[in-house]
């Protein structure tokens, strides 16, 4: 079994940001030399997510509106008693999840034509990290 571990660093300018990281994951798979296996891609934080969906700006706007409706920014989260103000970012992370696992076949992401991997930041303007871990042969 072979494995490769890579860390990406993200510094967002905005509190919320959606960043397509499919190319970085594809590059890591190529670098690993792994032909058949699984690629794990995860946020190392609990206020940002990694998800798979379409690279379409209108849809990303829809996702942002939808997350705000289901997991709204509010002042009265109990989590804020710690001094934090990012309770909604934790809930948005739970809704979209921290990570995805992706199939690797013939040395490539084995995806359908519209699947793209996104990093979604909900508590940005600080340094964050993404881990890519590929295992296989």
Q: What is the DSSP letter of 79?
A: G
CB of 77 to a second copy, least distance (A): 5
Dihedral pair phi/psi, residue 28, rounded to 5°: -65, -40
Binding mask 89-128 for a second copy (x = CB under 8 A): -xx-xxxxxxxxx-x-x----xxx-xx-------------
- Does 73 bind a second copy (CB under 8 A)? Our answer is no
Nearest to 128 by CA among 7, 11, 13: 11
Instruction: Let me know: does 28 contact 128? Beta carbons within 8 Å.
Output: no
10 Cβ neighbours under 8 A, 6+ residues apart: 19, 119, 121, 127, 128, 129, 130
Token digits of residue 112:
């359908």
Contact region for a second copy (CB under 8 A) — 9-17, 24-32, 84-92? 84-92
Residue 27 or 137 with smaller CB distance to a second copy: 137
Residues in binding contact with a second copy, number by CB under 8 A: 57
Residues that bind a second copy (CB under 8 A): 1, 3, 5, 36-38, 40, 42-46, 51-54, 56-59, 61-63, 66, 70-71, 77-82, 87, 90-91, 93-101, 103, 105, 110-112, 114-115, 129, 131, 133, 135-137
């Amino acid at each position: 079994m072979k494995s490769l571990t890579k860390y990406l660093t993200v510094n967002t300018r905005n509190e919320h940001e959606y960043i397509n990281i499919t190319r970085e994951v594809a590059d890591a798979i190529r670098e690993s030399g792994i032909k058949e296996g699984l690629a794990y891609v995860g946020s190392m934080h609990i206020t940002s997510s990694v998800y798979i969906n379409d690279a379409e700006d209108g849809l990303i706007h829809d996702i942002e509106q939808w997350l705000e409706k289901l997991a709204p920014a509010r002042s009265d989260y109990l989590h804020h008693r710690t001094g934090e103000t990012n309770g909604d970012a934790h809930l948005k992370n739970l809704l979209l999840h921290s990570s995805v696992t992706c199939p690797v076949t013939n040395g490539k992401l084995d995806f359908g034509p519209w699947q793209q991997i996104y990093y979604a930041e909900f508590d940005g303007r600080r340094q964050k990290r993404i881990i890519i871990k590929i295992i296989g042969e």
